[in-house]
Chains A and B, each alone.
Chain A
Amino acid sequence: MIITRVFNWLTDGDNWKDSHLNTGILTQLEAHIRFTGIALAVAILIALPLGMLIGHTGRGTWLVSAANAVRALPTVGVLVLLTVIIAPHFHGRTDTGYLIPTEIVLVLLAVPPILANTYAGIDNVSPAVRDAAAGMGMTGPQVLFQVELPCSLPLIFSGLRSATLQVIATATIASYVPLGGLGRFIYDGLAQQDYPQMIGGGVLVAALALTTDLIFATIQRYAVSRGITGRFPRGRPAVASEVQSAVLTGPEVSHA
């Protein structure tokens, strides 16, 4: 039974540790999280302020459309192209040569959902709320940070989660170019016809994705005001219908 062999591969303690022949699961997991974390941090630093600015001022919406168009690009192709262009410059320092194109692709993937959702979140804030905020004497930055940002958190989180899933998925493919990370087990297993390893790698990637999304969902639960999510205590329902079903995962994700 292949499932038993996959289970054995996953539960074999030797597979988790590094040896002189193989890199263990823990090391690859750490590498995978590192690639993902760097890309997300850079993407957030670019997309979040930009999305907030575009949403607040209403200027530069073409940037959001342009970023969305990037989604039509086949990720593998862009990854291979950038690797072929960049890697030779780092001859002898192989890992950097593969790391840079990978991170570029990952950032390129993560920016559109964060940018689009941040923009949409801020743009969606009710005109009456915005009017009241300015009318009571909030300055531009106060309106942005005290009102628009907290109100758009559900959409921003959904963009962030969407971006994270895509980055985790694509970091797996980075093993193809070839870089470390959990994808290593999939592509090595394929090359060596070691199917338990290949499938085990798939299971690990799926587990990482699900765990990360769960962590973000938990943070979101505490970060977003109950007044926006509509989760009220003692089963008292919302009277007004303005409460939107806030959490939006999934649909914008494109797995590549």
Chain B
Amino acid sequence: MIRFDTVSKHYPDGTVAVDELNLVAPSGQITVLVGPSGCGKTTSLRMINRMIEPTSGSIWIDDVDTAGMATHELRRRIGYVIQHAGLFPHRTIVDNVAAVPLLLGHNKKQARTRAVELLERVGLPAHFAKRYPAQLSGGQQQRVGVARALAADPPVMLMDEPFSAVDPVVREQLQDEFLRLQGDLGKTIVFVTHDIDEAIKLGDQVAVLRVGGRLAQLAPPQELLSRPVDAFVAGFVGRDRGYRALAFTSAGTLSTHAEQTVALGGPVPSGSDDGTWILVVDAAGTPHGWLNLEHLRAGEETVTEEMLYRGGTLATQGGTLRAALDACLSSPSGRGVVVDASGCLIGSVTAREVLDLIEARTAMAS
């Protein structure tokens, strides 16, 4: 557990970076600090491992005042991941990961063996071990950064915008893997981001900070979306927060309609139930896209990939209301495709049905 006890940071020029912050980051959970630039989120994070010293107040880790510890000893017990990874360019990947255990005086061979294990754990094959950071892409470097922070198995991890310098696709991948990793490890994590979507996706609780370093709201993501305390938080959380809040509600088991299908590679049918759209699946029953029977061109007799409309998203049975609604809204036929955990077609739902479900849930909650 990390506890901020009325912590402030003032600079000599009069700037107030953090103003009397009180905050508890519970053990084994991810606490996300989010806010616009100048809100003091990074300053707050860096005061935990004393990269920045507070002007007043104290920060406690498991009831030990950090001010009483030697800085380098404090930092060796805290994992630290930063935006540009900050890998040592002159050391191989394995030696980068083994850096903290070596600082702690661990056996070199053991440290390296563990480093290679950690690399695989963050999704890098063992043959990366002997490479240098310059040979890795940004996303790969960031994985190494996470592995390095984990190397000495610290109970606490600080992460300062670790995924914001990579492209959106890689970022999403890294976020998913990070959540999976945290599920196994259960570290106490403080995570800084300026991206509210990232905060909502990753945080067990989210602290929204406003410019001048004041805490605006501390709440679980769902509560933040449904009950922002003031106009600032509401504005920061964003316009479509009602829609995004659906991501926190399970749709339960959707009652689906059977959907007429045609096989990929099979003959084009002469008609369909609704007269226009028909769902195309492969031999395993995985949906591939929709076929528009009104827009067929002459000579198109077998169903091929090129003929398909692929805009629709898929809802997984037992997933969230947001995924279910999105499947309906994005489907050209208006029917949202529902699949099971292995990706096989179960059936379809309509937007109307999902909305009814949402209304029923809201009625139940109030």
Contacts and interface: CB of A to CB of B under 8 A. Distances in A.
Is any CB of A less than 8 Å from a CB of B in the complex? yes
Interface of A: 126, 128-139, 142, 147, 150-151, 224-228, 230, 232, 236, 238-240, 242-243
B90 A228 contact: yes
Given A126-B84, A232-B135, A240-B141, A136 B90 contact: no
Contacts of B85: 128, 132
B84 A128 contact: yes
B134 A240 contact: yes
A5 to B, nearest CB: 51
Interface in B133-160: 133-138, 140-141, 145, 148-149, 158
Contacts of B73: 137
B86 A128 contact: yes
A137 B87 contact: no
Given A128-B85, A132-B86, A240 B137 contact: yes
Interface of B: 49, 51, 71-78, 80, 82-92, 99-100, 103, 131-138, 140-141, 145, 148-149, 158
Given A137-B72, A232-B134, 7 more contacts: A132-B87, A135-B75, A135-B82, A151-B88, A239-B134, A239-B135, A243-B89
Nearest to B93: A227
B80 A136 contact: yes
Given A129-B87, A132-B82, A136-B76, A226 B132 contact: yes
B75 A227 contact: no
A211 to B, nearest CB: 28
Contact of A136 (B99, B132, B140): B99
A137 B76 contact: yes
B82 A137 contact: no
B360 to A, nearest CB: 50
26 contacts: A128-B82, A128-B86, A129-B87, A130-B86, A131-B51, A134-B75, A135-B49, A135-B75, A137-B71, A137-B73, A137-B75, A137-B100, A138-B72, A147-B88, A151-B88, A151-B90, A232-B131, A232-B134, A236-B135, A239-B134, A239-B136, A239-B140, A240-B133, A240-B134, A240-B137, A242-B133
Contacts of A236: 135
A239 B139 CA distance: 11
Given A239-B134, A240-B138, A142 B103 contact: yes
Nearest to A125: B89
A129 B89 CA distance: 8
Contacts of B82: 128, 131-132, 135
B149 to A, nearest CB: 8
Nearest to A147: B88
A227 B133 contact: yes
Contacts of B149: 136
A232 B92 CA distance: 12
A149 B184 CA distance: 38
Most buried by A among B82, B92, B148: B82
Nearest to B133: A227
A196 to B, nearest CB: 49
A132 B80 contact: yes
B103 A243 contact: no
Given A238-B135, A239-B136, A240-B134, A133 B75 contact: no
Nearest to A135: B80
A160 to B, nearest CB: 18
B75 A242 contact: no
Nearest to B83: A128
Given A136-B99, A136-B103, A139-B72, A243 B134 contact: yes
